[in-house]
């Protein structure tokens, strides 16, 4: 047990060291020189959306679309079977095109540089549970069928802070990961995601839907 805790602590320390180099800001809206905020071009996607997939969950982390390039994000979302888009920042586009494309927009904005408040957490966890677990205690009937794949896309401004934090919380709540495991999984796919302040928040996060086992909990244990 002591060795496991020491390894987890060492991993967290190493991750924080990387944060110092990759994330100068604490808010998560900036921090990666390879990504521009808000779109480098009106007709391109400045930061390629990042799929985060486990046995039971499917997410797509994105930066914020603009009205002028929203059609490109819709195309990318369709490619990834997105049914819902969660906007965690101030609006930069109208939601009517998403509705026309068959996707539901969820407003879950909270202040950059802060942890998600309780109402946002409840709204987020309810959405994840409903989409991937049918809102009950077991895996939804559609989750395992390839022609009915469901993905939740989530974006903040740069897709490096608030959006990855929500995905990490979902991994902790429903895939029984601890904070380090969840952050390492996200960072392996999206470089620069989650800074030191956000990592510390996740390490102290208390699961709302815990059902025993490692990490937080799992509704399908």
Catalytic residues: 112, 156
Helical pair 179-189 and 196-203, crossing angle rounded to 10 deg: 140
Give phi and psi for 184, each to the nearest 5: -60, -40
Helical pair 2-22 and 196-203, crossing angle rounded to 10 deg: 150
- In the chain, at which residue ranges do the beta strands (DSSP E only) sit? 50-53, 58-62, 82-87, 104-107, 151-155
What is the DSSP annotation of 31-42?
Answer: --TT--SS-SST
What is the arrangement of strands in the sheet containing 58-62, beginning at the earlier edge strand? 50-53, 58-62, 151-155, 82-87, 104-107
* 121, 190, 48, 104 alpha-carbon torsion, rounded to 10°: -20
Minimal CA–CA distance to 89: which of 39, 154, 24? 154
């Amino acid at each position: 047990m002591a060795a496991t805790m020491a390894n987890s602590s060492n991993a967290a320390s190493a991750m924080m060291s990387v944060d110092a180099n990759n994330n100068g800001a604490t808010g998560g809206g900036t921090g990666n020189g390879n990504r521009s905020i808000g779109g480098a071009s009106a007709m391109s996607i400045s930061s390629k959306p990042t799929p985060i997939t486990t046995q039971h969950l499917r997410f797509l982390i994105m930066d914020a679309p603009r009205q002028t390039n929203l059609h490109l994000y819709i195309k990318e979302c369709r490619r990834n079977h997105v049914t819902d888009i969660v906007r965690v920042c101030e609006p930069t586009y109208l939601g009517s095109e998403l509705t026309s494309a068959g996707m539901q927009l969820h407003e879950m904005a909270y202040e950059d540089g802060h942890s998600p408040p309780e109402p946002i957490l409840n709204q987020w966890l309810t959405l994840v549970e409903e989409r991937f677990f049918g809102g009950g205690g077991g895996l939804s009937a559609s989750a395992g069928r390839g022609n009915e794949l469901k993905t939740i896309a989530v974006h903040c401004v740069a897709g490096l802070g608030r959006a990855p934090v929500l995905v990490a919380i979902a991994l902790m709540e429903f895939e029984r990961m601890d904070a380090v495991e969840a952050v390492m999984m996200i960072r392996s796919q999206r470089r620069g995601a989650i800074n030191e302040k956000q990592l510390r928040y996740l390490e102290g996060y208390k699961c709302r839907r815990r059902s025993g086992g490692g990490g937080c909990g799992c509704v399908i244990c």
